[in-house]
Structure formats: C-alpha cells, structure tokens
Amino acid sequence: MNHRVVEVGVVVIENGEMVDRFQSLINPEIEIPFNVTLIHGITNGMVESEPTFSEIADQLDEITRDCVFIAHSVQFDFGFIKAEFNRIGKSFDRKRLCTVRLSKRLIPGLKSHSLASLCHFYSIQNQRAHRALEDAEATARIFLHLSEMPQFELVLKEFLNRKSKEMSLPPHVKKDSFINLPETCGVYIFSDQTGKVVYVGKALHIKDRVSQHFSGNTHTKGKQSFLNHVFTVDYQETGHELMALLVENELIKKHFPRFNSTNKDFQLNFGIYRYHDQKGFTRLVVGETGKWSQPISVFRTKAEATLALLKSTMKFGLCLVMNQLLPEKNGTCSYKNEDGIHCRVCNSKINAEDYNFAIENAIENWDEGKSFVLQMEGRQKEEIGLVWVQHGKIKGYGYLPTDVEAQNIEDLRPFLSGYYDTQDAQSILRPFLEKARKRGRFDDGVDVLELG
C-alpha cells in the first residue's frame, strides 16, 4: 500500500520559545482512503488544489535545517517525511527526539504517555487532534514542559547521542532491554503492555535481527501499529538454528501472536497406528497424531501416510481391507505383488498369531519413520543440543551437559522437554536431516545423528 503525506505542520522552538510555524495541506497524487479521512478529517476535495510534496519540499527542508526533529513517536513521523524526500530524489536527515520516550524517562509514573494523556496532564488544549500543525504545537508545548524537569539536560544529551540507539527504538521499549540482547542464535519475543506476546521470531544473531525490526521502513500504519504494541523484549538462546526454528514454531502456536502471519495454523501430522480387533488380528490404520499418541510412523499429510501403508501392506502380504485401504463391502482384496505374494487373509486361512507375526515383520522393516536422536551445537560449550524423534515423530528437545554420558533414550529423558509434533515442525526438520550424518547408535538401537 502507498502511504503518503497529506499535511505537514512545523513549529520551530528556539531558546524555550515557539518562534516560527509552517503548515500546508499536501496533494498526495493518490486517493485518500476513507478510513484514513475518518482519522484526520482531510478529504480528497480538500487537497485537490493543494501543492504536491515536491512543491513544498525546499521550504520544509529550509525551516527544519540545523534543527532537531521532534515528534510524538518520532520514528513514524520522521519515516513519513524521509520517504517523501526519497520519492523525489532528495535526502533528509535530522537528529531525532521522541517525546514519548522523553516523557517516559522524565515522568515515569504516568499511566499513559500518549499525546492526549500528556496534553491532559499539562492542561494543553488540542482542539483538532490528528491535524499536523495542532499536533505539532501540542508536542512543542509538551516538550517545553519537559524541558523544565530537573534531569532534562542530562537525558536530552543521552537521547541525542547517535550511538545511544535511544531514538531507534520503539517508544515503549526500554533501552536496557535492547542493549542486553545477546548476539547469539535463538528466539526473541515481543510483548505488549499487559504482557501478552504479540510477536515471536528466530534469529542467528538475536540483537541484529531485533534491531532490523526497529529500523528501516517505519512510516507505514502497519509498522507503526506493530512498534506501538511492543513494550518488552525477551529472548531464549538456543545454540543451533534448528532448535531456534522449533522453539519459534512452538511459541507461535502457544501464544498465537497478533503480528505473526505464519506457523499459526495447528495442522496435525498423520500417523500409522496399530490395534487389535475382536478376533485378535492386528490392524494398521491411518489417523491424526496428537501430543500423547504413539504412531508407528509419522507423515505430514494423510496422502503420504496412506501411500506408505499401501506399499507396506502389499509388500508383506497384509490385508488391504483390514488396514482400511479398501472398503469392508469389497469383502476381499485380490492383489499379487512383484514377489508373487497375495493377501495372507483373503487368499489363505491364516490364524491371528501368524498374521500378527507378518505385521510385526512389516513394522520392523519399515522404511519410513525411523527413530533417532539428532545432536547439534548447544547454547554453550559445556552442552549438546538434542532433538529426539520416535518413529518419525518429534517427541522432545533439550540440552545434555557434555560431562553426562548417555547410553540410551532413558538416560536422555531428564534433559528433554516434550514437543507437540505438527506439519510445520516436520517441514522445519526435514532439510536439516538431509545434512545430518550418522555418529553412532545407543544401546537400545536408536541411531545418533549429528549436525555440523
């Protein structure tokens, strides 16, 4: 969506006094959406005969030259103006100061630091909120009130230091929470004022990735809404990218964050299960997997699971009807595989014990859904990252101290957290398995794979 400026308003402050003003409606050269008009009241008819931004750009550049660009949520307003200058091939760079952040530092006890709340606190009249000049004048008066606070000069010096990162952060995020972010692989979590998670992301370098969220194109309504909802930044170090992706996927499904667009759907995988019928015969069927289910093998889709069961059924002479691959009304199945084997039930009077032995033989030779432990880099040198997969289903993940010697899955269980396997999780795991190499085998027969 094209976001354009429809009005500019500037108030110049010198030595504690408002000494100059500039205001102009702007013809954006595109239609103003009705929902935007509802906010500021500016219609297409009002701007039809007004100058374009290119026609007032020099005047705006002149009046703000050598000035600090002050605004309430400065990244939003500055982003809009900078984008307009970029659109006409001109640069625009000013030191910036956010009165949201400034007021939060100087008067932290206020419940809200919105423009309206600060106007009420200082008894400032703003008769036409959301109009450029009126909002600029209200912001200027708030700034002048803040300038009378005891710590103002010290805080101002800190905020205007380009190295401080203060003005590059969203209005509600504390600087220390950003400064303390690690430059390691893991997951970062943005939460709103109530502590509700609004976004989860993964990164090879957490601090760099979070910084990218807070910079760049900040002048769109969507980006501004996103930044205004971020109050706290938390993180989890994971060591390896695979672990970061799995944790990110798990947290998104747990919290359903407002600003995440992917991985929200909780699409279960499909598994092949076995059960015994009333006559004692073991049957194999396809069904959805759950957190506590114990399938023989796991697949991303029902079609993949059905095809695998069909191949195994015919390879080992099992019954297509009993495995629900043919309707019961068909009565019998008549096939012969490439080895000349027919269905053991429909073409012979086999007893349950012998048939079940053939079922177990098929399961033992299953080509799909192997069980293994995948090892990788941990969060620190003294540990190893682990992902446990049982019959193709992700069962858990965790970290094993390097001074603990594990011989089987039971030795690993105290160090593993359960994982809810989904289609997204399987899609995450698959490309990493292609890069894994076999390192050994536990005493219980479970393979140990390793990622570089």
Q: Where are the domains of the chain?
A: 7-168, 176-255, 270-364, 372-450
Buried-exposed string 42-54: b where 16+ CB fall within 10 A, e elsewhere: beeeebeebebbe
Where would I find the beta strands (DSSP E) of 265-322?
A: 270-276, 282-288, 297-299
Beta bridge partners of 287: 271
Which residue has tokens 């760049």? Answer: 216
Sign of the CA dihedral running 186, 239, 184, 174? positive
Q: Considering only CA atoms, which of 105, 236, 257 is closest in space to residue 191?
A: 257
Which residue has tokens 């029902």? Answer: 302
Q: Quote the pLDDT of residue 361.
A: 87
Q: Which H/E stretch holds residue 157? A: helix 152-160
Q: Quote the pLDDT of residue 188.
A: 98
Pick the CATH number of 176-255 from 1.10.1040.10, 3.40.1440.10, 3.40.50.300, 3.10.180.10: 3.40.1440.10
Q: Quote the pLDDT of residue 218.
A: 57
| Inter-CA distances, 432 with 59, 136, 164, 375, 376, Å | 56, 53, 39, 11, 11
Classify domain 7-168 at the CATH topology level. Nucleotidyltransferase; domain 5 (3.30.420)
For residue 318 the two structure tokens come to: 């099992």
Q: Quote the pLDDT of residue 19.
A: 96
Q: Quote the pLDDT of residue 371.
A: 87
Cα separation, 122 vs 8, whole angstroms = 24
Cα separation, 333 vs 354, whole angstroms = 19
* Fold match between domain 7-168 and domain 176-255: no
pTM for this entry: 0.70
Cα separation, 138 vs 115, whole angstroms = 8
Cα separation, 168 vs 191, whole angstroms = 18
For residue 19, how many other CB atoms are within 10 A of its CB? 10
Stretches where the chain sits below pLDDT 50 are 1
| Inter-CA distances, 154 with 102, 229, 290, Å | 11, 28, 57
